[in-house]
Amino acid sequence: MQISLLMPHLKVGGGNRRYLEIANRLVKRGHQVEIYHPTGEQCAWTECLAKISPTLEIFQKEHEVLMNSYPVRDEFEIVRRVKAELKLYYVLHLFECELMAGLHPTLYWRNEKTLYTKKSIKTADVVLANSTWQHNWIKEKLGVNNELLIGGVNFELFHPVPAAKDQTKIRLLYSGATKGWKNSVFVEEALKIIKSKYPNVETASYYDQNIPQEKLARFYSSGDIFIDAQVYGGWNNPVVEAMACGIPVVCSAIGSVQDFAFEGRTALLFKLGDLPSCVSQIEKLINSPELRKTLSANALAEVKRFTWDDCIAKFEQIIKENLNLKHAS
């Protein structure tokens, strides 16, 4: 099949990682895959086997399958104008769900992405959701049938790496990303409280360190606990990556972790914005090496369910079935 992917850029990011993982595996399975993004520059931070072209060249061809995810006016209009047999919208984020459900339609101006997420969901031939909570929300709140397409974990990149650790220290990790919904300020406030009570605690984040992709597992594996307080998201990459590297996790109990973070079994969770609860959960792990070991083992087993082979097989099936329906009609 010929498959085109429309992207806003090819910089480092969780959504882009997902697209590149999909593209690379489709190419390996014999499909013709072309990525379009504004500059057409090659990807500099990870492998990309697909052909890469500037966005404007998308109008020079007819496409068998076209997929996009970025909900802004320009990209929406490009998708609307491009000729393609099958247009897929892959939901990576839902943004302001109350606005999208139509509770406050006059407030759409607050968030262009909210408006164009809804428009994209309503107009696509096929809607894909990258987590169970999104799959259910879109069906229940927007009345749109959609396919659940959970991505995989690249276990060649994310896996436990043996590391010599200072047993007198407890190393707490977090992403440190500055985007508001990543909520790093909240994590840093919790860590400030923890460090005031536990002098043997040290902290580190990977944000802005330019750690090569192949060395991220070493960073995760250097820690004893990973903390994440993300406010919203489709699928929480840092949490699942930490789990795949064998690091016990404390995270906010939001939809983006519901497929793999289960309280007391694979992670410790806290209510979004509840600082005392977050601190308490971190303390539980600091004070219980056995609990850390249990969560780590359970999480490792849990994330093994998410393979890219399964994802791509389902993706191919969805495309073939919907193309057949188009041709039949």
CA distance readout (Å), 79 to 22, 149, 153, 181, 314:
20, 21, 29, 27, 23
299 φ/ψ sector (left φ>0, alpha ψ -120 to 50, else beta): alpha
What is the CATH T-level fold of the domain 2-152+307-328, as seen in this structure?
Answer: Rossmann fold (3.40.50)
Provide CB contacts within 8 A for 319, sequence distance 6+: 1, 3, 65, 86, 88
CA distance 193 to 209: 24
Six-digit token string for 252: 């906010």
Tens-binned pLDDT, residue by residue, of the chain (329 aa): 999 999 999 999 899 999 999 999 999 999 999 999 999 999 999 999 999 999 999 999 989 999 999 999 999 999 999 999 999 999 999 988 877 877 555 555 668 888 899 999 999 999 999 999 999 999 999 999 999 999 999 999 999 999 888 889 999 999 999 988 899 999 999 999 999 999 999 999 998 888 999 999 999 999 999 999 999 889 999 999 999 999 999 999 999 999 999 999 999 999 999 999 999 999 999 999 999 999 999 999 999 999 999 999 999 999 999 999 988 87
Taking the CB of residue 180, how many other CB atoms lie within 10 A of it?
9
What is the CATH T-level fold of the domain 170-303, as seen in this structure?
Answer: Rossmann fold (3.40.50)
| Percentage of residues in the chain having pLDDT higher than 70 | 98
CA distance 193 to 25: 44
The answer to whether 230 and 256 are in contact (CB under 8 A) is yes
Domain with CATH 3.40.50.2000 in the chain: 2-152+307-328, 170-303
CA distance readout (Å), 78 to 19, 67, 81, 232:
18, 12, 5, 27
19: phi then psi, degrees, rounded to nearest 5: -60, -40
CA distance readout (Å), 214 to 17, 155, 211, 224:
13, 11, 8, 20
* 3-state helix vs strand vs coil in the chain, percent to 5: 45, 20, 35
Six-digit token string for 277: 């609860």
